[in-house]
């Protein structure tokens, strides 16, 4: 009897204890460039300290990240292919798209530069020279924002790179870091985002050959996955992340991320994107 009374009192005491607070976590589907450049490693701990919300990142090419959002397997999508992002919103998969930051693409290639493109500011002309020379070019080939930008640039150059597939044009279906590793191993040209290039260490004979063309501008946007389509989406905490990253605090966190003193991303949530 005494034992049963003690057990009963223990059960009542346990019921009286406050429930342990669940960890607040959101999932952000984003690009490999934000992850592999080290940006998320810099800004996400700041966000978590300020809000108590932990961010789980799924780093994929932009097309795949948007597919994750379509399935409702992420709360927020943070990518860099504006046309695809706006289509994603029009189709009802996300709420309003917000500008976050920008950087630029560069064409990286071997020091020997067999296509003679070094110093050009006309990206389509550089691509024409690469194709005409039959010089090796590595493409991510992964439906990423970088891959989409590359294909637009080939179109502007009047070149169908598929005609060189299996010869000078090599698609690897992987992210920016592995693509740069492949380019370094093969002494090949590649279109890269500057942020990942600056954080890349296995450069071997590679260097930036083409930069500064307005057509290489690279805008990033962020969107909340539509909770009406996917009711399990953590809308409040996801919106908290978006509000933070476009706020002065979030924008300052982005601007403060540097490698060897060089800024990788430039916040522009509150300003029109540059035209040149």
Residues 6+ apart with CB under 8 A from 16: none
Task: For the chain, give the percent of residues with pLDDT over 90.
Answer: 83
Domains and CATH numbers, the chain: 26-102+218-267 (3.40.190.10), 104-216 (3.40.190.10)
The 10s digit of each residue's pLDDT in 209-227 is 999 999 999 999 999 999 9
Q: Model pTM?
A: 0.85
The 10s digit of each residue's pLDDT in 18-33 is 444 568 999 999 998 8
Query: Residue 272 has what pLDDT?
Result: 58
Residues 6+ apart with CB under 8 A from 99: 219, 220, 221, 246, 268, 269, 273
The closest alpha carbon to 101, from 225, 271, 237, belongs to: 271
Q: According to the 3-state scheme, what is the secondary structure of 175-199?
A: CHHHHHHHHHHHCCEEEEEHHHHHH
């Amino acid at each position: 009897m005494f034992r049963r009374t003690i057990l009963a009192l223990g059960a009542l005491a346990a019921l009286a204890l406050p429930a342990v607070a669940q960890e607040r976590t959101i999932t952000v589907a984003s690009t490999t460039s934000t992850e592999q450049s080290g940006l998320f490693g810099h800004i996400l701990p700041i966000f978590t300290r300020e809000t108590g919300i932990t961010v789980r990142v799924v780093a994929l090419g932009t097309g795949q990240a948007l597919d994750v959002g379509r399935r409702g397997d992420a709360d927020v999508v943070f990518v860099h292919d504006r046309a695809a992002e706006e289509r994603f919103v029009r189709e009802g998969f996300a709420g309003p798209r917000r500008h976050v930051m920008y950087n630029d693409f560069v064409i990286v290639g071997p020091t020997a530069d067999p296509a003679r493109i070094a110093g050009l500011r006309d990206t389509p002309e550089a691509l024409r020279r690469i194709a005409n020379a039959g010089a090796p070019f590595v493409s991510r080939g992964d439906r990423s924002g970088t891959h989409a930008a590359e294909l637009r640039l080939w179109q502007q150059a009047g070149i169908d790179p598929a005609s060189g597939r299996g010869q000078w044009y090599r698609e690897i279906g992987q992210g920016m870091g592995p693509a740069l590793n492949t380019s370094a191993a093969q002494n090949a040209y590649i279109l890269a985002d500057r942020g990942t290039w600056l954080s890349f260490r296995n450069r071997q004979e590679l260097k930036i050959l083409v930069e500064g063309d307005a057509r290489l501008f690279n805008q990033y946007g962020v969107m909340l996955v539509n909770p009406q389509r996917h009711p399990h989406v953590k809308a409040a905490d996801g919106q908290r992340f978006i509000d933070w990253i476009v706020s002065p605090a979030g924008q300052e966190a982005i601007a403060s991320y540097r490698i060897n003193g060089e800024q990788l991303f430039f916040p522009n949530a509150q300003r029109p994107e540059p035209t040149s």
